[in-house]
Amino acid sequence: MGTVSQFQDSLRPPAHRIESEEEAISTARDLAAAFRRQASERDINRILPHAEFDALSASGLTAITVPPEYEGLDVSNALLAEIVAIIAEGDASIGEGLENHFCVLETLRIQASEDLKASLFARALLGDRFAAATIAEGAELSAEGPGYHLSGRTRQAPGILFADWIAAAATAPPSRPVTLYLACAHEGIQVVDDWDGFGQRTNGSATAIVGQFHVNADTIAPAPSFEYSTGVSLALLLKAGVSLGIARAAWTDLLNTIGDRTTVLARLGEHAMRIETTAAALERAGRKLDIAQVNPVEAAMADAHFSTSAAAIAAGETALATANALFELAGQTSAGIGLNLDRHWRNARIHALSLPRDRLLRAAGDSVTKPDEA
């Protein structure tokens, strides 16, 4: 159908089909252990993890949120957040790419037509990967036949370098928010590797430049009308998952690097408890999001948004605190350039920049004052 049917078949082998949540988390742990071995080298030399993302696709892990009515597994959100955390502990950049991928699949579930969902969920089951981006100001989107003519570029976004599809948020004339599902293999799309951040150095952030491109009407979906959609909440939850993974990776390196632990037992206990508390916050937020997805009424979606916001803020703070503790407690033995332990702080710092912390806090304050105003 339109652009979807014109997409060329991937050269990668068909993906494995994961059959249970137990298999999903076991697969994640195996992949993370493999990713961890060369994560530092990839960061130092900025070696993009194309092979690692292909391994994710082949394992079937990238398809675990496809709904059952489209032949998927549809794992719980608490487990999904833990799986993203596990992958991010192995390599935070890969975790962020996976975060973005799963967010697109949720956006597809809640926005798209049945035909578009059937086509793209089928691609996801085969191992296709997705990335979300926003069409930048100055782009042209004008009516053209049964669809639109698009030219311009997206804003820089993680995961684009590894994606088969870009879910591009745009505004269709006259002022209709939509999502355009663009096939990266199309000759009218050029992906530019322009990421130069000091952290998350291999997360696949890039800009997509769109030339003369016709977007078929059947590959366009309306944007959610509710501010606290489950797609927004899932993005917050999985962002928290990446931060938790960074914290765990820093914690493991702290324990491996520190010498005499007896003098800092209380400090170690403090950080261990903080990581455990953060993991509990993600689990609670995941359950709230499960409820909102099953019963997407305004109250349930607002509750999920509040809980996932709290988890994202807490996890970001935990990641930074643990990365700092690595150097504070391990001392000079942690400072060697060859160890590259500063990548945990760099990853935590860069990842936190994309979290709209002040806006989330204002929204939380507004939500708790409304009952008093009634």
pLDDT-derived band at 373 (thresholds 50, 70, 90) equals very low
Report the candidate in 285, 166, 170 with the shortest Cα–Cα distance to residue 233: 285
**pLDDT tens digits, 102-157:** 999 999 999 999 999 999 999 999 999 999 999 999 899 999 988 999 999 999 99
**pLDDT tens digits, 260-319:** 788 899 999 999 999 999 999 999 999 999 999 999 999 999 999 999 999 999 999 999
Helices (H), the chain: 2-6, 21-37, 39-45, 50-59, 77-90, 92-111, 114-126, 230-257, 265-294, 298-330, 342-353, 357-373
Q: Specify the pLDDT at position 7.
A: 44
CB within 8 Å of 223: residues ≥ 6 apart: 111, 169, 177, 178, 179
C-alpha span between 72 and 351 (Å, rounded)? 30
117-140 per-residue burial string, b: 16 or more CB within 10 A, e: under 16: bebbbbbbbbbbbbbbbbbbeebe
Q: Specify the pLDDT at position 253.
A: 96
Beta bridge partners of 151: 140
Longest dimension (CA), the chain: 72
Report the candidate in 274, 281, 237 with the shortest Cα–Cα distance to residue 254: 274
Q: Are 330 and 267 in contact (CB under 8 A)?
A: no
Q: Specify the pLDDT at position 300.
A: 96
pLDDT-derived band at 225 (thresholds 50, 70, 90) equals confident
Residue 374 tokens read as 């009634």
Q: Specify the pLDDT at position 262.
A: 80
C-alpha span between 320 and 273 (Å, rounded)? 15
Q: Is 202 exposed, middle or buried (0-12, 13-18, 19+ CB in 10 A)?
A: buried
Q: Is 288 exposed, middle or buried (0-12, 13-18, 19+ CB in 10 A)?
A: buried
CB within 8 Å of 247: residues ≥ 6 apart: 275, 278, 315, 318, 319, 321, 322, 323, 348
Say whether pLDDT at 327 is over 60: yes
Share of the chain above pLDDT 70, in %: 96
Kindly list the distances between the CA atom of residue 306 and the CA atoms of 74, 187, 224, 312, in Å, as whole numbers in the listed order: 23, 42, 18, 10
CB within 8 Å of 215: residues ≥ 6 apart: 3, 141, 147, 148, 149, 150, 180, 182
Q: Specify the pLDDT at position 260.
A: 78
| Residue 181 DSSP SS3 | strand
Question: Residue 186, Cα to own-chain centre: how many angstroms?
Answer: 24
- Domains, the chain, with CATH or none: 2-222 (1.10.540.10), 230-373 (1.20.140.10)
State the DSSP code for 157. B
